[in-house]
């Protein structure tokens, strides 16, 4: 039988979601907790992978387990066992063919940019002390939404079959002294969001004009785009699935 975990985590102390030897990952931490509680080796499959230091307000993972257990009690036990950096929001049964990664329709990320020095949010936002031209940044975003090939924003030397992504929505939201870059797509490449944010910030700082986004994307050259922004301000916020996945 297949089960879904809905998870949120603070990624600051983890080397990303995916298991890696000799370092602590979110995936391995949850698997160890499940093994302790269920007395069986449990492997979980995430909806994707977040890099070192990246957070998730909403991540999904599935695991298979055929013995009986109480769902609500497992949730309580997991949250008691795990430290404060990981929270299991929900556990529920899904159809056996549902896959946390491949059944996902879309994913959404947010990157937080602080426009004023804030002693409380500096660990989860990136402080920019210069003035930004928000209008030009929005122009750049409009250009990005017209494209599908994002090789210029992908981490170099990654093993991917395609650089095509369907950007469903992309916007800037201003909330007091915080600027939130929000992007939703069917899939993302490694480092893609942080590279896009770095490039848009160069537009906002008026280092490059918005129109240059066209040539950057068409070049398919990572060196033409902006710097990759630090991971601590990036959050995975939503994952969308078909409405009929629950068993």
**Which residues, in sequence order, are bridge partners of residue 170?**
183
**Average pLDDT across the chain, whole number:** 94
| 94 alpha carbon, distance to own chain's centre | 23
What stretch(es) of the chain map to CATH 3.30.70.580? 2-102
Mean pLDDT for 212-235 is: 96
Query: Stretch 20-30: mean pLDDT, rounded?
Result: 92
Average pLDDT, integer, range 196-214: 97
Q: Mapped to the 3 state alphabet, what secondary structure does 150-186 carry?
A: CHHHCCCCCCCCCCECCEEEEEEEEECCEEEEEEEEC
On the question of pLDDT at 120 being above 90, the answer is no
Model pLDDT for residues 126-176, shown as the tens digit of each residue: 999 999 999 999 999 999 999 999 999 998 777 788 999 999 999 999 988
What are the φ and ψ backbone dihedral angles of 138, each rounded to 5 degrees?
Answer: -65, -35
Tell me: pLDDT of 19 over 90.
Answer: no
Decide yes or no: CATH 3.30.70.660 for domain 107-238: yes
**5-9, 19-23, 205-209: segment of lowest average pLDDT:** 19-23
- Range 2-102 classified under CATH 3.40.1190.20: no
CATH 3.30.70.660 boundaries in the chain = 107-238
Give the active site residues.
Answer: 51
Summarised one tens digit per residue, pLDDT across range 59-76 is: 999 999 998 889 999 999
Model-level pTM greater than 0.85? Answer: yes
Does 21 score more than 90 pLDDT? no
Residue 130: burial class (beta carbons within 10 Å; 0-12, 13-18, 19+) = exposed
- pLDDT-derived band at 20 (thresholds 50, 70, 90) equals confident
**Residue 161: per-residue pLDDT:** 86
């Amino acid at each position: 039988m297949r089960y879904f975990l809905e998870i949120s985590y603070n990624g600051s102390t983890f080397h990303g979601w995916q298991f890696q030897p000799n370092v602590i990952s979110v995936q391995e931490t949850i698997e160890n907790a499940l093994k302790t509680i269920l007395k069986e080796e449990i492997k979980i499959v995430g909806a994707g992978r977040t890099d070192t230091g990246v957070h998730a307000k909403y991540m999904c993972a599935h695991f298979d387990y055929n013995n009986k257990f109480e769902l609500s009690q497992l949730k309580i036990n997991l949250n008691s066992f795990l430290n404060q950096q990981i929270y299991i929001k929900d556990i529920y049964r899904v159809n056996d063919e549902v896959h946390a990664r491949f059944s996902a329709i879309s994913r959404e990320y947010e990157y937080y940019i602080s426009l004023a020095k804030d002693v409380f949010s500096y660990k989860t936002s990136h402080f920019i002390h210069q003035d930004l031209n928000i209008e030009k940044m929005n122009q750049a975003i409009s250009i990005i939404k017209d494209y599908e090939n994002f090789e210029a924003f992908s981490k170099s030397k990654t093993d991917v079959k395609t650089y095509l992504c369907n950007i469903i929505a992309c916007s800037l939201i201003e909330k007091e002294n915080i600027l939130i870059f929000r992007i939703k797509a069917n899939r993302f490449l490694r480092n893609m969001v942080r590279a896009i944010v770095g490039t848009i910030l160069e537009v906002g700082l008026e280092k490059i004009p918005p129109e240059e986004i066209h040539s950057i994307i068409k070049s398919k050259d990572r060196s033409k785009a902006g710097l990759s922004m630090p991971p601590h301000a990036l959050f995975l916020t939503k994952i969308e699935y078909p409405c009929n996945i629950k068993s």
